[in-house]
Amino acid sequence: MLVAFTLLLGFQLAGEVIVGLTGWPLPGPVLGMLFLVAFLTVRGAVPDALDKLSAALLQHLLLLFVPAGVGVIVYAALLAREWFAVLVALFVSTIATIAVTGLVAQALLKRQARNTLVSPLPEGEG
């Protein structure tokens, strides 16, 4: 467990260092996630302790958003006069983004599935 946690922190640290040095528009932890994928690719399997730790962390991922979220209530006064415009724009835009992304991705995934199904089909079947 200790080794697994050190691994996660180490990859995060490596990500932060590289982002800090290069100025890439990417958060350190996201780059750390890619490093972990590379590490697992080299290793060929997920170590048992890392598997358990990541499952535990991801199971309660939502909890980790609470402390920053409480700040919203405290700073909400900053938006007192604009809250209507802000909320409408956020809600409508979020709905539109979910619908557009989902529909575009699903349409392309369907087309891809149709193409790969059609071409390698052996002769004389169907």
Partner 1 sequence: MSESFFHLWTYLAATPLLGLTLTLIAYMIGDAAYRASGRKPYVSPVLIAIIVLGTLLLATGTPYRTYFEGAQFVHFLLGPATVALGVPLWRNRHEVKRAALPILAGVAAGSITAVVSTVVIARALGASEQTVLSMAPKSVTTPIAMGIAEKLGGLPAIAAIMVLVTGVSGAMMGRYVLNAVGVRDWRARGLAVGTAAHGQGTAVALTANETAGVFASIALGLNGVLTALLVPLLLQLLR
Site for partner 1 in 18-47 (CB under 8 A): 25-30, 32-37, 40-41, 46
Q: What is the DSSP letter of 78?
A: G
* By CB under 8 A, residue 3 contacts partner 1: no
Identify the residue among 2, 21, 48, 68 touching partner 1 (CB under 8 A). Answer: 68
* By CB under 8 A, residue 17 contacts partner 1: no
* CB of 122 vs partner 1, minimal distance in Å: 21
Residues 6+ apart with CB under 8 A from 8: 32, 36, 50, 53, 54, 57
Helix, strand counts (H, E) of the chain:
5, 0
